[in-house]
């Protein structure tokens, strides 16, 4: 879930803008609301305090008057009650009005308490702290406290009572009447703060709702605004995608003259230019391919005639004088060379023009290998090499162009025979679920460091002075590597001076896939030692029974 959210965040400007607007405005609105609330609260409380103090002071002076007039009376309780009654408002109660509680303190003797007129107000509502602070002071003190009211028994007849409390303001004053006597009277005015509190609650609710509404509206506005920008951008992205897919005639529709319209116009210009370029390149490629095809045809017809003529002469050379006879022979062999060079050149130019087509068929690679080995056997025998084939028992079906693969294998085997210097040549076939790999290993002259990549270059020769009996064109490996790539496979080379070389052809079994790894490593496992190479990392297979010169053994290999 979290991953989906973060992905949406990353992929959409709109989501980012809207949510950050939401967050920021929520914070700002919350802050403002808080400030406003505090101000209102302060204001309300100050107002209440002022009016309460005024009321209280008035009451206190009344009390003083009353007490002075009754000074000397012995019934302090009655006096207190009279004063408290006089001070309390006609309609007492917990709603917005106030209560008065009076105390009389005589040091050393009992003190009298006159609770509030409202019997439900508990005297404990007056905090002790305040009472202590008042001792002996003629100032007034006030504090905020909770006024506790007795709501009556929880259930009829129960001794347990429910209590409710409300916030309140208590202002107390103390006086000694007559002045200097031991009679200290304290009067506490208990103001209910319910009214201000309700007002505050109302303000708070209003702020909250309007704040939320504001934030939501802001988010909505942000969404609308970004939509104006994002929609054309998204459309541009979609059209660009379609362009990339190859639909070169896609264009944007610029509306108006603003920045987005300019974007659209530039985009269209770019698309036009791209389309022109691509068309031009396609045309060039087409022309090139036609040229290759035409050249091919033009060259081949006279070459055929020359070929036939040379052949006729070659057949009849017994009747010629030695010079002419020899000429006829040379003509024949060089024509062979010319023909293969021409063929290779045309093949590689087809690869270059991208005109090489793959005719894939499902074939058993083992048959191909056997055929090519049979065909190149005479050459190998002539060079003193023995070819051993190691392949699995099961068919290795692969979708490939048989003609091309045979050409690759023929090239590899001929090279192995040429450079093998009479050493044994091994051909391995290994198949796994996705690829088929064929390796041709010789133990001959090998390659120098760095040459394993050069070897696929056109007309590259390992040793320019080497005698070439088979008259290779120098393009064989280049064509082979291109053919491998055409299949989506690859051809790799390894070699070491004196240890020989190995060429590994890896092809995907399914036409259209690309080969990423090969079951046969390019560097053979025996490169560092001199033992018989194992095949596929499984337990090394049995050594070939014997190498009969001039024959090919197909061994029962273990499938990797």
Partner 1 sequence: MKGRVLVVDDDTALAEMLGIVLRGEGIEPFFVFDGDKALAAFRETKPDLVLLDLMLPGTDGIDVCRQIRAESGVPIVMLTAKSDTVDVVVGLESGADDYVVKPFKPKELVARLRARLRRTDEPAAETIAIGDLSIDVAGHAVSRSGGQIPLTPLEFDLLVALAKKPRHVFSREVLLEQVWGYRHAADTRLVNVHVQRLRSKVELDPERPEIVVTVRGVGYKAGPA
Give 410 or 485: the residue with its C-beta nearer to partner 1. Answer: 410
Instruction: Give least dist CB 303 to partner 1, A.
Output: 4
Instruction: Give least dist CB 348 to partner 1, A.
Output: 15
Phi-psi region of 350 (alpha: psi -120 to 50; beta: other; left: phi over 0): alpha
Instruction: Give least dist CB 283 to partner 1, A.
Output: 20
Instruction: Give least dist CB 400 to partner 1, A.
Output: 11
Which pair of tokens denotes residue 477?
Answer: 């490996």
Give 121 or 405: the residue with its C-beta nearer to partner 1. Answer: 405
Instruction: Give least dist CB 253 to partner 1, A.
Output: 42
Q: CA-CA distances (angstroms) from residue 492 to 358, 392, 438?
A: 20, 22, 11
Is residue 116 within 8 Å of 100, Cβ to Cβ? yes
Give 377 or 426: the residue with its C-beta nearer to partner 1. Answer: 377
Is residue 69 within 8 Å of 153, Cβ to Cβ? no
Instruction: Give least dist CB 374 to partner 1, A.
Output: 10
Instruction: Give least dist CB 407 to partner 1, A.
Output: 11
Give 75 or 361: the residue with its C-beta nearer to partner 1. Answer: 361
CA angle 76, 82, 83 (to 5 degrees): 90
Give 18 or 368: the residue with its C-beta nearer to partner 1. Answer: 368
Give 367 or 531: the residue with its C-beta nearer to partner 1. Answer: 367
Cα 33 to chain centroid, rounded: 39
Q: Tell me the β-bridge partners of 190.
A: 99, 170
* Residues engaged in binding partner 1 (CB under 8 A): 293, 296-297, 300-305, 307-309, 311-312, 315, 339, 357, 359, 361-364, 367, 371, 375, 395, 397, 402-403, 406
Burial class (CB in 10 A: 0-12, 13-18, 19+), 70: middle
| DSSP assignment letter at 386 | -
Q: Tell me the β-bridge partners of 186.
A: 103, 174
| DSSP assignment letter at 124 | G
261 Cβ partners below 8 Å, 6+ apart? 254, 255
Give 259 or 361: the residue with its C-beta nearer to partner 1. Answer: 361
Instruction: Give least dist CB 515 to partner 1, A.
Output: 20
Q: CA-CA distances (angstroms) from residue 509 to 372, 465, 487?
A: 20, 40, 10
Give 16 or 307: the residue with its C-beta nearer to partner 1. Answer: 307
Query: In a 3-state reduction of DSSP, which class is residue 313?
Result: helix
Is residue 332 within 8 Å of 311, Cβ to Cβ? yes
Tell me how far apart the alpha carbons of residues 427 and 386 are, in angstroms, rounded to a whole number.
Answer: 11
Instruction: Give least dist CB 300 to partner 1, A.
Output: 4
Give 152 or 395: the residue with its C-beta nearer to partner 1. Answer: 395
């Amino acid at each position: 879930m979290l991953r989906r959210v973060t992905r949406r965040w990353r992929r959409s400007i709109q989501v980012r803008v809207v949510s950050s607007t939401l967050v920021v405005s929520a914070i700002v609105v919350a802050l403002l609301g808080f400030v406003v609330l505090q101000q209102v609260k302060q204001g309300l409380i100050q107002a209440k305090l002022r009016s309460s103090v005024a009321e209280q002071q008035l009451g206190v002076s009344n009390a003083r008057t009353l007490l002075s007039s009754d000074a000397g009376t012995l019934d302090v309780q009655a006096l207190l009650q009279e004063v408290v009654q006089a001070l309390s408002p006609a309609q007492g109660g917990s709603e917005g009005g106030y209560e008065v509680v009076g105390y009389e303190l005589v040091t050393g003797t009992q003190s009298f308490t006159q609770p509030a007129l409202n019997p439900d107000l508990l005297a404990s509502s007056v905090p002790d702290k305040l009472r202590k602070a008042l001792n002996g002071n003629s100032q007034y003190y006030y504090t905020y406290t909770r006024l506790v009211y007795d709501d009556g028994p929880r259930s009829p007849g129960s001794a347990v009572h429910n209590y409710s409390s409300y916030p309140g303001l208590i202002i107390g004053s103390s006086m000694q009447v007559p002045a200097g006597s031991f009679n200290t009277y304290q009067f506490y005015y208990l103001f209910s703060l319910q009214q201000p509190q309700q007002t505050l609650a109302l303000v708070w609710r209003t702020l909250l709702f309007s704040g939320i509404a504001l934030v939501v509206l802001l988010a909505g506005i942000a969404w609308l605004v970004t939509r104006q920008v994002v929609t054309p951008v998204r459309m541009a992205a979609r059209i660009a995608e379609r362009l990339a897919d190859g639909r070169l005639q896609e264009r944007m529709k610029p509306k108006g003259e603003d920045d987005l319209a300019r974007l659209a116009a530039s985009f269209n210009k770019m698309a036009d230019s791209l389309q022109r370029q691509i068309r031009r390149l396609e045309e060039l490629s087409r022309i090139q391919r036609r040229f290759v095809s035409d050249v091919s045809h033009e060259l081949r017809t006279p070459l055929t005639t020359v070929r036939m003529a040379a052949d006729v002469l070659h057949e009849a050379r017994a009747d010629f004088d030695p010079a002419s006879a020899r000429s006829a022979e040379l003509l024949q062999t060089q024509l062979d060379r010319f023909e293969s060079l021409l063929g290779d050149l045309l093949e590689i130019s087809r690869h270059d023009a991208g005109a090489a087509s793959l005719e894939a068929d499902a074939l058993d690679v083992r048959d191909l290998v056997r055929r090519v080995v049979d065909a190149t056997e005479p050459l190998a025998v002539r060079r003193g090499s023995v070819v051993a084939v190691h392949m699995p028992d099961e068919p290795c079906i692969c979708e490939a162009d048989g003609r091309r693969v045979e050409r690759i294998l023929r090239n590899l085997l001929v090279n192995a025979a040429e450079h093998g210097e009479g050493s044994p040549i091994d051909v391995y076939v290994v198949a796994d679920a996705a690829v088929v790999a064929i390796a041709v290993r010789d133990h001959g002259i090998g390659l120098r460091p760095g040459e394993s990549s050069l070897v696929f270059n056109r007309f590259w020769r390992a040793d320019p002075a080497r005698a070439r009996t088979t008259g290779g064109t120098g393009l064989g490996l280049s064509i082979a590597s291109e053919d491998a790539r055409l299949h989506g496979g690859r051809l790799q080379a390894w070699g070491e001076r004196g240890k020989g070389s190995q060429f590994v052809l890896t092809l995907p079994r399914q036409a259209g896939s690309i080969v990423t790894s090969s079951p046969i490593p390019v560097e053979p496992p025996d490169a560092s030692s001199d033992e018989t190479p194992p095949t596929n990392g499984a337990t090394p297979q049995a050594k070939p029974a014997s190498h009969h010169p001039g024959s090919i053994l197909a061994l029962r290999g273990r499938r990797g």
